[in-house]
Structure 1
Amino acid sequence: METSSRREQAEATRELLLRTAERLFAERGLAQVSNRQIVEAAGQANNSALAYHVGTREDLIRAITRSHVEPIAARARERVAAVRRSKRPRDHVASLVLPYTEHLASLGNPSWCARFLAQVVTDPALLDVEGVEPVLAVEFVEGTAAVWAHVTPLPAAESALRSQTARVAVIHTCAEQERLAAVTGVPADWALVGEALTDALTGLLTAPRVPTTRKDR
C-alpha cells in the first residue's frame, strides 16, 4: 500500500512538472526557460526533481509532446476510418484538421498545447530528436493519401509546398487562437476554428494549377 502511494505521488509530481514546463515554454519560449525555473514554478524544493522524475530536457519535451500527440492520433484514427470511402476531399481534410482542434477544445482555457507544439515543430534543434513527433505527422499517412487521391495531380514540388503551407496554417492559427484566449480570458471557438481551417485548406489543396511561364513571373 505504501509503495502504491509513493508511486501515485511520483506520478503526480511528474505530471505537475510536465504541465508546468509546458506552460512556461508556451508563454516564454523553449530557449528562455531553464530546468531550475520549471522546478521552482512547480513548487519543488529539490533542484534535481526534473531530472529524477522526467529525465533530460529532450525527455521532457518528448513527454509533453506525446501527452498531446497520442490523443490527437486516436481521434485521427477514428475520423480517417469513418471517411475512408468518401469521395469528398473536404471530408478527408477534416479528418486531419479536426482531431487537433477537438483536442485543444478538450483542454479548456487557458491551455498551452498549441503554443508549445508550434515551437517544437519549428525548432531546428528538435527536428532530429527521436520521439518528438510534429503534430499532424503521426497517424495521418492514410488521411493525407486520401486527400491527394482527390486532387488533380500536381508537380511534386508544388504538392509539397501546398502540404507545408497547410501544416503551417493549422499549427500557427491554433497557436494564435490559444494565445488570444489566454490573454482575453474568452475561450477560443475551436469548433469554428476547425471548420474554417478545413474549408480554407480544402480550397488550398484542391485549387486548380494555373500554368505560368517564366516571362509571366
Structure 2
Amino acid sequence: MKETKVRIVLEAEKLFSVEGIEAVSMRRISAQAGQKNNSALQYHFGGKDKLLEAILAYRMTPLNDKRLILLEVLAGEGRTGDLRGLLEAFVYPFVDFIRTNEASYYVNFLARFYSYSGSGAGFSSIDQPWMSGVLAITAEISKQLNYLPQPIVTLRLSLMGAQLIHSIAACETQIRSGQSVDLTAFTETLIDFLQGGLTQPLSPKIQSYSV
C-alpha cells in the first residue's frame, strides 16, 4: 500500500476508534491525514465502506498469516481437534499485535466495526482472503461443539467473537495509556474464559433444543 493510502488508513482507524464510524466524515479524515484535496479519499478508496475494508485488509492480512501458521503447526502435531489450541491460534496473534504496537487503535476500531457491521450497515467482510484463518478456526471449533444444537453453537461463536474483540480492545486502551498490563495472565485467562463459555453444558431452560 502506498504511503499516502497508509497515512489515510491509519488516521481513519484512529478517528473511527475514538469517535465512532458513523460520526466521522470522509472530509474530516482527509483533513486529518493532511490531504488538501477533499476528494482524495474518494479517489483512493471510493467511499467509506471501501475505506473500512482497506483498514481491515491492512491490519488483518499479517494477523491472518500468523493464524494460518499456527493452524499448520496444530495440523502437524495432529491437534486440529484441540479446542484450546484453536483458541490460542485465534487469540495469540491479536495479543502479539497489541504487545508490539503500543500506540495502536486497531482493536478499538475493530470493536467499533463489529457493532457497525452488525447493525445493518450492508458491509460484509466474511469472503475476504484475510478472513481465511478466522473462518478455518471457527469451522474447527464448531466441529468440536457438534454435541450441541447448531443454533447454540452459532450463538456461542458469535458471543466468543464479541468477547474476544472487546476484551482485547480494552487491553489495547490500557497499554496505549501507559498502564502496566500482565499480558500473559490476561491472555491465558481470556482463553480459559472463552473455552469455558463454549463448552458449558446447556442451561436446563434451553435443553429442549434438538441437535
| Counterpart among 121, 126, 145 of residue 139 in structure 2 | 145
Letter in 2 for 1:50: L
Q: Is 1:186 equivalent to 2:201 in the alignment?
A: no
Letter in 1 for 2:8: L
| Counterpart among 9, 16, 28 of residue 18 in structure 1 | 9
Q: Which runs of 5+ in 1 are unaligned?
A: 1-9
Letter in 2 for 1:122: S
Find the structure with the greater CA-based Rg.
1
The residue that corresponds to 2:20 in the other structure is 29
The residue that corresponds to 1:42 in the other structure is 33
Distance across 2 between alignment mates of 1:58 and 1:151: 34
The residue that corresponds to 1:73 in the other structure is 64
The residue that corresponds to 1:112 in the other structure is 105
Alpha carbons 1:181, 1:187 under 8 Å: kept: yes
Deviation per CA, 1:2-23, whole angstroms, max 9, x where unpaired? xxxxxxxx92111111111111
Q: Is 1:154 equivalent to 2:145 in the alignment?
A: no
Q: Is 1:90 equivalent to 2:84 in the alignment?
A: yes
Aligned length: 201
The residue that corresponds to 2:189 in the other structure is 196
Q: CA deviation at 1:206?
A: 2.0
Letter in 1 for 2:84: R
Q: TM-score, normalised by structure 1?
A: 0.80
Alpha carbons 1:24, 1:38 under 8 Å: kept: yes
Task: State the identity as a percent.
Answer: 26
SS in 2 for 1:121: helix
Q: TM-score, normalised by structure 2?
A: 0.82
Distance across 2 between alignment mates of 1:30 and 1:95: 28
Q: Which runs of 5+ in 2 are unaligned?
A: none
Deviation per CA, 1:182-214, whole angstroms, max 9, x where unpaired? 3x3236554443322212111221223354489
Distance across 2 between alignment mates of 1:137 and 1:195: 24
